[in-house]
Structure 1
Amino acid sequence: MNKPRFSFGDEVRVVRTVRNDGTYPGLQKGDQLVRRGSIGYVREWGLYLQEHVVYQVHFPAEGRVVGCRESELIAAEVFWDAGLFQYGDQVEVNATLTLKGQVVAAPGAVGKITATGQGLQGESFTVQFGDRFLQVPARLLRQVEAG
């Protein structure tokens, strides 16, 4: 049996977005429950399949209590650099994007982040605009609020 790394009341940070697997009431399967980087407090823990430690974590900013696997959590005081966007975020481009002289995304076009990266030009993202996937520098994007 695995021993838990965190105890009741420990402040933890979730390192990946937690989505509804269909067991969270009132939301659709796949809906975001907690964005990566969010801080929560351990309420209790248990075992899944008698070997995987799962924590019940209260995320006050989101007003949710969510089950998190141990691999999804770090101590809140550990250094964290989340970057600007994450997989699945909706973004809007603030410049014209061209490919071989053809406009493939006009200012205001909305896309979805499918990958993140760091290169010589700084933070960049793979963004899906329709059926195209484009590598876009962070400075050309802004987040579209969910709503």
Structure 2
Amino acid sequence: MLYKYDLDERVVITKDLRNDGTVPNYERGEIIVKKGTEGVVVDHGYFLQDILIYSVYLSGGFIVGCMERELQSLDKEETA
């Protein structure tokens, strides 16, 4: 499996991310990351064995899980 985003690749969040209930200290449905926030891919893995999730490190030490469609690379040109 080839990953669209590499480890240490700089990315930007393409939509507001809301708490799905897995982030402590935030209400379910509350926005936890705003669209346009930049971060770095630090890991990738699977949720429920088939949903690819990227762990993205954001400033302040916050790490959030994102799907491919929620990210855009800042390091390489996107292809359609």
**Structure-2-length-normalised TM-score:** 0.83
Detail structure 1 runs of 4+ shifted over 4 Å in the superposition: none
Percent identity of paired positions between Structure 1 and Structure 2:
31
**CA–CA separation in structure 2 for the residues paired with 1:36 and 1:22:** 19
**CA–CA separation in structure 1 for the residues paired with 2:28 and 2:35:** 18
SS in 2 for 1:71: helix
The CA RMSD measured in Å over matched residues stands at 1.9
The aligned residue for residue 66 of structure 1 is 64
**CA–CA separation in structure 2 for the residues paired with 1:20 and 1:76:** 24
TM-aligned CA distance change 1:63 to 1:31, over 3 Å: farther
Write the mapping of 1:131-146 to structure 2, written as runs, cut at 5 A.
none
Encode CA deviations 1:61-93: one digit per residue, 9 max, x unaligned: x542100011111102559xxxxxxxxxxxxxx
Give the letter for the 1:72 counterpart.
E
**Structure-1-length-normalised TM-score:** 0.48
Q: State the 1:31 CA deviation.
A: 1.3
The aligned residue for residue 26 of structure 2 is 27
The structure with the greater share of residues assigned to strand is 1
**CA–CA separation in structure 2 for the residues paired with 1:36 and 1:14:** 5
Write the mapping of 1:49-88 to structure 2, written as runs, cut at 5 A.
49-60=48-59, 63-77=61-75
SS in 1 for 2:32: strand
Q: State the 1:3 CA deviation.
A: 2.8
Task: Show structure 2 runs of 5+ residues with no match.
Answer: none
Give the letter for the 2:5 counterpart.
F
Q: State the 1:49 CA deviation.
A: 2.6
